[in-house]
Amino acid sequence: MNLNSSYPMSIIDLSEQEIVRRTSMQKMKEMGIDPYPAAQFPVNVSTSEIKENYYTELNNYQDVVLAGRIMSRRIMGKASFAEIQDASGRIQLYINRDEICPDEDKSLYNDVFKKLLDIGDIIGVKGFAFITQVGELSVHVKEFCILSKSLRPLPIVKEKDGQLFDAVTDPELRYRQRYVDLIVNPQVKDTFIKRTKIINTMRQYFNEQGYLEVETPILQSIPGGATARPFITHHNALNIPLYLRVANELYLKRLIVGGFDGVYEFSKDFRNEGMDRTHNPEFTVMEIYVAYKDYLWMMNFTEEMIERIAIALHGTTTVQLGEVELNFKRPFKRVTMYDSIKEHTGFEIAGKTEDELRDICRQLGIETDKTMGKGKMIDEIFGEKCEHHYVQPTFIIDYPVEMSPLTKKHRSVEGLTERFELMVNGKELANAYSELNDPIDQRERFEDQMKLSEKGDDEAMFIDQDFLRALEYGMPPTSGMGIGIDRLTMFMTNNLSIQDVLFFPQMKPEKVAEAADTDEKFLELGIPVQWIEVIRMLGLKKVKELKEIKAGKFFNDICGLNKKNKLGLDNPSIEDVNKWLS
């Protein structure tokens, strides 16, 4: 016996079900059926179209060509039922042996459909829509063909009357194998459809204003535009270090210098920092810059955009997020950062020195270290003591200059900048400025950041000499705004984890299963070589696992597999099995 002959993968690595499916695939090939045909299959309708538009009195959908994945089967005698799932939903199939096999050869039904097809296989069918005697809309199959043989069993999820039971909820499986998650939890697709609708709504809004969508470099020689720790790589041909961008701000401002009135970009940014339920090292941001505007105009622009998104997705400005009901109806509340800190800590921090701020942090129980300047400490105070209070959309405005190295100084209040962050559900959603366009002031701000870097702050900004050169040619008064698409999608789709709004979130390395024992290890126990592969079909890959099994159960299991899979082996005696396991 050699079960390996038809498969490049070792049988050691396969479960019993995977072996059975590979055997079915091989039998299909022996019958002349290609389990992975190359030709197109001319689908002319989706399951949802049939369900939404079929009417008995019209007798429509009488020439249906449909394709999908088998999700359930009810095998009977000459007639059977199955359910297939396509991108839009599920529908029941009715298959009659004599209709799909009108000639004497009934193997397509008796062998292929009943024995060789499995849950998860993708098939194509031709037939017509009708209502069964129990009132269920179905497709009466006249022809079917295999389009893709599934070699791995799907997790079993039960569905009745549109409700899912035993849904797959294990995050390790859902996030690492998103393809399986999408198959067995089709409602997950709705989140990603809405994500695309969010982006399209934003893009339409910007285009209506006449702003231009652009692309800027991901690989950058200076990781500018944000205070964040970058990923570093190396360009072999140029023999220089390069950084994955932490933000695209400085390149977009260069385009404003070049004469565009408004530019925006949906960009992938990368920050080599922590991972949690709201942060992924690779994330999507939209940044927009508009000439001759300020942060007050940008606040109005931002809240109108977000209100528009909520209505586009939900038909209302009210959105549910966990147990909280968010309302994105304009106008949003506006609170200065100093007022927020005063309200929630009792401390007035305006004009405080670095030492005074360090003492305030100590009194508030906030840890500091010598690398932290005034801006970092104020950020820590706000983050720990204030941020979580802002559940409903709120603009936190007028940030200290130490926290905002790329922002124009406030037109009327010394020591502040014209900046806002939009807070929702206790988290930052958007960040915007009246952009700093004074090249002398900008150089001084960069130099202050370098001093922080010399103190050990690995998130301090680099000096970007080319950006300073661009500013020296003159940048018009400009307002810019960046908004996290992942977090916005979380808020708009009632998801509390960023992993639920990313198709493929970053994961820890997958644990590798312990290597299986070689044949020699089993032979040392006196097990005949022909039975080693049968034992592995039971999922027993190491000899130590045999020591934990009762001889009687093991005897029944291997003899049962021999019979079920028609392996043709002479069964061992119970005495033989006892010797193997002793």
pLDDT of residue 536: 83
pLDDT of residue 124: 98
Place of tokens 């390149």: 251
Domains and CATH numbers, the chain: 31-154 (2.40.50.140), 190-332+392-501 (3.30.930.10), 519-581 (no CATH)
**Contact (CB, 8 A) for 72 and 80:** no
Strand partners of residue 89: 86
**Contact (CB, 8 A) for 120 and 25:** no
Q: Is 566 helix (H, G, I), strand (E, B) or coil?
A: coil
Strand partners of residue 137: 131
Q: How far apart are CA 420 and CA 336, in angstroms?
A: 9
DSSP string, 289-341: EEET--HHHHHHHHHHHHHHHHHHHHSSSEEEETTEEEE-PSSPEEEEHHHHH
Largest CA distance in the chain: 95
If we measure between CA atoms, which residue out of 11, 8, 10 comes closest to residue 565? 11
pLDDT of residue 543: 86
Q: Could you count the other beta carbons within 10 Å of the beta carbon of residue 529?
A: 10
Give 494-532 as a 3 state SS string. Answer: CCCCHHHHCCCCCCCCCCCCCCCCCHHHHHCCCCCHHHH
Q: How far apart are CA 469 and CA 473, in angstroms?
A: 7
* pLDDT (tens digit per residue) in 232-283: 999 999 999 999 999 999 999 999 999 999 999 999 999 999 888 889 999 9
Strand partners of residue 236: none
Place of tokens 């003492």: 359
Task: Count Cβ atoms within 10 A of the Cβ of residue 264 and give its class: 0-12 exposed, 13-18 middle, 19 or more buried.
Answer: buried
Place of tokens 């690989």: 219
Show the CA angle centred on residue 295, arms to residues 294 and 301, nearest 5°.
Answer: 95
Query: Which parts of the chain register pLDDT below 50?
Result: 1-9
Q: How far apart are CA 64 and CA 104, in angstroms?
A: 26
Q: Is 257 helix (H, G, I), strand (E, B) or coil?
A: helix
**Contact (CB, 8 A) for 303 and 326:** no
Query: Rounded to two decimals, what is the model's pTM?
Result: 0.83
Q: How far apart are CA 265 and CA 114, in angstroms?
A: 53
Strands 262-270 and 212-213: parallel
Question: CA 5: distance to chain centroid?
Answer: 38
Amino acid in position 184: V
pLDDT of residue 161: 62
* pLDDT (tens digit per residue) in 213-245: 999 999 999 888 887 889 999 999 999 999 999
Question: Which ranges constitute the DSSP H helices of 4-96?
Answer: 16-30, 47-53
Q: Is 281 helix (H, G, I), strand (E, B) or coil?
A: coil
